[in-house]
Chains A and B, each alone.
Chain A
């Protein structure tokens, strides 16, 4: 039985409701909260992620998806909460330890290392390099390991159609190619769970198809994939299971087909369900308190203080030019 059918079969018996128990969960999240100022950005009571499945995490802007990602991967500290990976607690670990355990993430704003070559970006991903310790670099023959890593990198680059660019600086790649590079680089770590933060955002539509294929192939290789997306069509296409967030909480779960008929989900997207109204202008950009919340959450994602974010480009929001301060 192909991987996708097997996964769907396993999930067939799961009740489509928030916090539903899965037959073989690899990630189990309990009572996670994170507040910015007085605003609760994340408040998830219980969530399980099925092993070997592609789980889509969707929700409107400001729903707390990226914040949840940051929390689970150690990039942000929760107000409270526990989560286990393969039965072992993962909370409280520094990001690099989370990654070494096998839970590897990508970022909404690609973090291709612009002034390193594509190949160096890839080699950086390889785990347990003896040449990465100071004395190891000077005193051990790390050349052989480097060669093996380079070969592995080349194979992955071929798979992601980046082999021709191997010696270029990563900064010269297009937005879509950077997404591919980031995904390929994450695979250098042989992850068990790969968490993709909006892999399709800002990607040329022509590349979307191939990106989706790559995401599916990750599952077919036995990895568990969790990805954030706000485009419902993309989700429907490739997810085995979908988790819907709004205002920081999980409001619905289920197989993708079941969601378009779910009233809560529709309400969340149309904004009819809010106790604390999220405000958006005509173009869907957040305004007022909502915008502040979003900025704050983004800046946490970027690891800087909001008042002096020198970063261009907002995250997942097409806000007007933020230039000037770079």
Chain B
């Protein structure tokens, strides 16, 4: 008997939750090797299965609203229709194809709501049996798409960028302060963001609490989660004198574990909040903003001012700055460093939660998904390094720049590359000003 399904480097990534994996033995491995997709190593691929393979997706207009009642069909390589369906109220559709192979998925333009501009209504894909197949259709701007002037487009992207930058900044303040006070480069910070957003989602959707209250509850829980991180892991590690680089690797391990734990308990789909899922943009002079976008901006600015006041005016804030400045000096002048660090973790956890909710509301069409924090993490790092690692105000400035660059980059880059702009800024800044915009000149290494 031959052990099944071996010999494939592991499936890394996104939630291709193996669909209906049966514990069957054997598939001629030759056929297996010929498949397009990397199988889960060690996973078992269904034998000569006659079951259909599901393919799904969600239709969402460029402004984020779901498109319901749209006809989607699947055609095999010979052009024969193998399945057809209509999207539900959440824009979701699911089709079944009979076997692995190449299929074309097509939207019937007639069934689209009037005014919807379809950029790509036909997608040809290789469908494999052992992975989740999601097909994405692209829609353009509703109505105004083509006749907007470049100036107003730039203005709109600028506002989007500032909004996005503020959201990144809210999540990244914690990252920067934790780095400043403990030296830890925390690669699991993105998961705090995700978990915060998931907590808010749970309170909102499962417990039925209105989102604003749900967010407040989640912020408290998120602060608690930050404290748990510090007390349960990082403080003991510092006591053990685990080196900073070892701590960095530990944070990566923790990040992976948390991220996939979220995948297990939350699932691999984007799940919407109950409230504020679709809003109509209002015009404010040349720019148009939805209420939730405007709220995101106002809340972010208010929180930032709050953080600035906290750092400048309060005892604990001054203590934080002192510890970040010089830990030993702070300790020797009577500051309880452990307490300050704990506070920083709680603050960071709470802010990450708030940032997670705002990120979901403003950038993810009010949905939460398991990898959202990790996707944001690199942009947070970019912003924090850009501003100067360990400086709170630098983080704000850097994140704003990253947000704006990300949004403005869509002027020249395809939309699916927009995060690249933010990351590229990171590399560029390291070449010319490694200490960051607000960091002081000191030899770094």
Q: Do chains A and B touch in the complex (CB under 8 A)?
A: yes
B51: interface (CB < 8 Å): no
Contact among B183, B243, B332, B442 with A300 in the assembled complex (CB-CB below 8 Å): B442
For the residues of B in contact with A, the DSSP-based class is helix
Q: Is A77 an interface residue (CB 8 A)?
A: yes
Instruction: Determine whether A306 belongs to the interface, using a CB cutoff of 8 Å to chain B.
Output: yes
CB-CB contacts below 8 Å: A265-321 with B: 291-292, 295-296, 299-300, 303-308, 310, 319-320
Chain B residues, Cβ within 8 Å of A310: 183, 243-244
In the complex, what residue of chain A is closest to B338 when comparing beta carbons? A324
Contacts A304-B445, A307-B180, A310-B183 hold; do A325 and B325 have CB atoms under 8 A apart?
A: no
Give the distance in Å from the alpha carbon of A310 to the alpha carbon of B237 in the complex: 14
Q: Which of B244, B390, B443 contacts A307 (CB 8 A)?
A: B390
Closest residue on chain A to residue B329 by CB atoms:
A291
- Asked, given contacts A303-B445, A310-B243, A323-B241, whether A292 binds B328 with beta carbons under 8 Å apart, the answer is no
Alpha-carbon gap, A310 to B328, bound state (A): 11
Contact B325 A307 (CB under 8 A): yes
Contact B238 A300 (CB under 8 A): no
Q: Name the B residues within 8 Å of A305 (CB-CB).
A: 390, 442, 444
Contact A295 B183 (CB under 8 A): no
Given the known inter-chain contacts A295-B329, A308-B183, A310-B243, please indicate yes or no for A324 contacting B445, CB distance below 8 A: no
Q: Which B residues touch A320, using CB under 8 A?
A: 328, 332
Contact status B329-A307, CB under 8 Å? no
- Shortest CB-to-CB span from A183 to chain B, Å, is 25
Q: Which residue of A lies closest to B240 (CB)?
A: A326
Whether B328 pairs with A322 at a CB distance below 8 angstroms is yes
A326, closest chain B residue (CB):
B241
Query: A2 in the interface, Cβ–Cβ < 8 Å?
Result: no
Q: Which residue of the partner chain, among A77, A303, A307, A325, contacts B324 with CB atoms under 8 Å? A: A307
Tell whether A37 is near chain B: CB-to-CB under 8 Å.
yes
Which residues of chain A come closer than 8 Å to B243, judged between CB atoms?
A: 310, 326
B326 neighbours in A (Cβ, 8 Å): 292, 295, 306-307
Q: A307-B325, A310-B183 are in contact. List 6 more A-B contacts (CB 8 A).
A: A295-B329, A306-B442, A307-B324, A308-B180, A324-B239, A326-B243
Q: Residues on A close to B: CB < 8 A?
A: 36-37, 76-77, 291-292, 295-296, 299-300, 303-308, 310, 319-320, 322-326
A-B contact pairs, 13 of them (CB 8 A): A77-B443, A295-B326, A295-B329, A296-B442, A305-B444, A306-B326, A306-B442, A307-B390, A310-B183, A310-B243, A319-B328, A325-B244, A325-B327
